[in-house]
Chains A and B, each alone.
Chain A
């Protein structure tokens, strides 16, 4: 061996040194990883191997006031395919069974290619029972194909309630961004109506099952035999104030029209019926909505999505006269002995305002009965513009009622300031005459009118209108009521008695709605016509019954038909009858929809 500066002995030492330092380095590294940083790595290993599986709780259902289920959960079968185990040569057969075009399965599998091949892909929701039994029979020849039961919304009471109930849908990316503390992509969320407003009650609390997974995220088994699992908590069932029978009548009566019908218990503020027409089929929104149906709804000139009950802001017409009568009586501007001689029209501030007829000498009661315009033209000047505005606002106009679902319009009550801004300090006072009969810039919504009608019926006291009475406890199904704000106008009962007499005569005297007089039920009401510069006038009717102990207040709007008495009042009558006379209801129902139950069964099968 060459004995130069590197002696053999020193070469051995160098090799020895290299080996020992390599071991020292690796040993230190192992010490660092396995002892110093052990906890971090342990957590990472646990994250790797334990997968929490979310359990979606059952969504709360809706009961009506008679404890009939109106919105339920129904199981629907969803066909799934696990791509890793699936043989695409089965496509043809399965597509035939689930009644889809060739290429349907490939298209969906392609869309889901970004996910693990071991995660089942939802191929079709709500497959029919025939397909399910076929899958069951042939399961051993269908590797990677299975079905799961998923819950979707059902509407067993035969009422639509589209705008009131609302619908659930898969959470949108925008909403997800806002609520990422609870929701995950693919979760369902209440998107409109009660489903949206009471989402936090309805959704329940997600549970988690912990399972062991391998590196491909396949489930191997339960973690600690399920000892750490968190069960899901079912969503709260809601009890609504709705009476399904009244609701059904309201919906049927509005069929083919544009309008709204809303009923309320004047003593509690509970909404008894809530219908906006045209409406849409919530069944179409039960899980996935077809694009065709959505396009149809969006492009419909009658705007089915538009909730007319809360958002149609239109002039109240003559229904406003009650408020004005109360204001004048309350301020002491007039008494029942105050009369006006109606000659079919009168000039105010240089402008002539006409009436439908010459009513002769009328006091406040008969002015209401006959809806005498001249009387109320004069009355608003007696009340005064600022006071008129104050009273209108006291009755809840010009602001949202605070109904427990979203998207309400405030309507509009013009003020002195408003006209001064528009026309200058010397604004034409003739405008007031129009306001006196509920026309012009003033606009109200049906929900405001039903609150207004309730206040009149119940002598100035009611509660904020609301759809939901409370929720049921999960354990013993006890009703936990929500509390709502009491509204008390602080106006003497005697004043209400005067205007109510007028409203009684509207129906039971020789008034504008004498056509809806009922021999059993004493209905009081007031017609209204909202002038429409773009077409036929809109018909209003507000009413309550029974006269001496009001249990139901109603506001009905029918758009573009003309007079309130002809179109809106009969609908109100049917709703009142439905509520107050359950027996009589059945006959009416037969008359309206003799094949109603059969129709529903037919529909359920077709879906």
Chain B
């Protein structure tokens, strides 16, 4: 094997550079959106400090021996579960959610660590030699490992982060090689659950589809029946859960179905976000010149609605550049995951990719009005120390795996 001694052989610029550029674009957008807001003064500087810290951590992670991740998988998972319990007991409540831990003035969300912990733990379990993804028991264990933190996060309650977990579990068991039927068993309750949020007809319709699929797979009656029961249970449990949700989350979900119904309430952000992006046009209104941004039509735009700032001030050019950077980064990680020779590392990379991708999809989908308003940051770009730290930490793992990719033959 020919060994390339150029920098690119040890250090994947294809991973690092898009993330670094995205962070810089994010800084510009944070600067612009907080310029006229006295409550957010200093956010730009804070983000720089977090950024520097995160990139230092990136190189620390990058330099670790690659087997550290496997060693630390279970401890990280256990620790993150512990922190999730702690946050429920002593956490700070910010905008209706009890998801923050105060550490010497620095806000910190344990769910950020829980994502990574769950990816590592799930990769660990799925890559064990005797794990059979086709066995009902192992699927159940995998789902339990993945969904246990979700229950704790739902209690905060943080709907958005839960979606991340669904995404990474699905991606990882898919990557592990689940069969079409297995995928159906895992996925159908989720589809039924989402259908139940609309109304009863959707719920009944989706249950009929489940019956049709069960007939197609031709498994034995008892097994099919229990899967069907699982689906019914998921549907009604979700309906019950929806009612248990906090009122503002219920209205958020409802306003997704019709954002115009309550233009000053829950639908307000969605409408103003679209106006910001649409009014940017092809070239944008120019840095610091977006009226929607500068006049603060979108509350806390520097966090979940940061993409609007880019869309308004840098236009279609700006949004497409950001998209391209993400696409390139995702392709790079996907390529690395499929070429990784160690299954644990491959699964970890897919888990990380899923986390990034679901964040990206929901965030951008939300601001362009094709997804509900679910509070998820845009990786590397949005303001927020702990999420930036987590994103770059995971990037460090990816870079680390690239560095040692030839050692795992």
The interface bits of chain B over 24-36 (1 if a CB of A lies within 8 angstroms of the residue's CB, else 0) are 0000000000001
The interface bits of chain B over 289-325 (1 if a CB of A lies within 8 angstroms of the residue's CB, else 0) are 0011001111100000000000110011001100100
**Residue ID in chain A nearest B361 by CB atoms:** A22
B153 interface residue (CB < 8 Å to A):
no
- The CA of A53 and the CA of B276, in the complex, are separated in Å by 24
Contact residues of A: prevailing secondary structure: helix
- The CA of A27 and the CA of B311, in the complex, are separated in Å by 12
Cβ-defined contact, B281 with A34, below 8 A: yes
Cβ-defined contact, A214 with B334, below 8 A: no
**Residue ID in chain A nearest B177 by CB atoms:** A2
Given A34-B278, A44-B275, A49-B291: A19 touches B331 (CB 8 Å cut-off): yes
The interface bits of chain A over 9-22 (1 if a CB of B lies within 8 angstroms of the residue's CB, else 0) are 10110111001101
The interface bits of chain A over 347-372 (1 if a CB of B lies within 8 angstroms of the residue's CB, else 0) are 00000000000000000000000000
Chain B's interface size range is 35 or more
A298 interface residue (CB < 8 Å to B):
no
Given A30-B311, A41-B274, A41-B275: A23 touches B327 (CB 8 Å cut-off): yes
Cβ-defined contact, A42 with B179, below 8 A: no
Contact residues of B: prevailing secondary structure: helix
- The CA of A12 and the CA of B36, in the complex, are separated in Å by 46
- The CA of A422 and the CA of B195, in the complex, are separated in Å by 81
Which of B272, B278, B282, B365 contacts A26, CB < 8 Å? Answer: B365
A131 interface residue (CB < 8 Å to B):
no
- Residues on B with C-beta less than 8 A from A48 are 272, 275, 291-292, 295, 297
- The CA of A23 and the CA of B361, in the complex, are separated in Å by 8
B368 interface residue (CB < 8 Å to A):
yes
Given A11-B175, A38-B279: A26 touches B323 (CB 8 Å cut-off): yes
State the Cβ distance, A50 to closest chain B Cβ, in Å. 8
**Residue ID in chain B nearest A6 by CB atoms:** B177
**Residue ID in chain B nearest A11 by CB atoms:** B175
Tell me the residues in window 338-396 of chain A with beta carbons closer than 8 Å to chain B beta carbons.
none
Cβ-defined contact, A5 with B334, below 8 A: no
- Residues on A with C-beta less than 8 A from B280 are 34, 38
Chain A's interface size range is 35 or more
Given A11-B174, A19-B334: A29 touches B368 (CB 8 Å cut-off): yes
A4 interface residue (CB < 8 Å to B):
yes
A45 interface residue (CB < 8 Å to B):
yes
Cβ-defined contact, A33 with B277, below 8 A: yes
B176 interface residue (CB < 8 Å to A):
yes
Cβ-defined contact, B278 with A15, below 8 A: no
Cβ-defined contact, A45 with B315, below 8 A: no
Which of A19, A41, A45 contacts B357, CB < 8 Å? Answer: A19
B152 interface residue (CB < 8 Å to A):
no
The interface bits of chain B over 321-349 (1 if a CB of A lies within 8 angstroms of the residue's CB, else 0) are 00100110011001001100001001000
B88 interface residue (CB < 8 Å to A):
no
Cβ-defined contact, B316 with A8, below 8 A: no
- The CA of A111 and the CA of B369, in the complex, are separated in Å by 37
Which of A5, A9, A41 contacts B179, CB < 8 Å? Answer: A5
Cβ-defined contact, B320 with A4, below 8 A: no
- The CA of A16 and the CA of B176, in the complex, are separated in Å by 16
Cβ-defined contact, A1 with B343, below 8 A: yes
Excluding A26-B365, A29-B369, A44-B275, 20 further A-B contacts by CB distance (< 8 Å) are A2-B133, A6-B177, A6-B178, A9-B338, A11-B177, A12-B337, A19-B331, A22-B361, A33-B368, A38-B280, A38-B282, A42-B278, A45-B275, A45-B276, A48-B272, A48-B295, A49-B295, A49-B297, A214-B296, A215-B296
Residues of B within 8 A of A (CB): 36, 133-134, 171, 174-180, 272, 274-282, 291-292, 295-299, 311-312, 315-316, 319-320, 323, 326-327, 330-331, 334, 337-338, 343, 346, 350, 353, 357, 361, 364-365, 368-370
Nearest 9 pairs of A and B residues by beta carbon: A41-B278, A2-B177, A45-B279, A49-B291, A214-B295, A34-B316, A33-B278, A41-B279, A215-B297
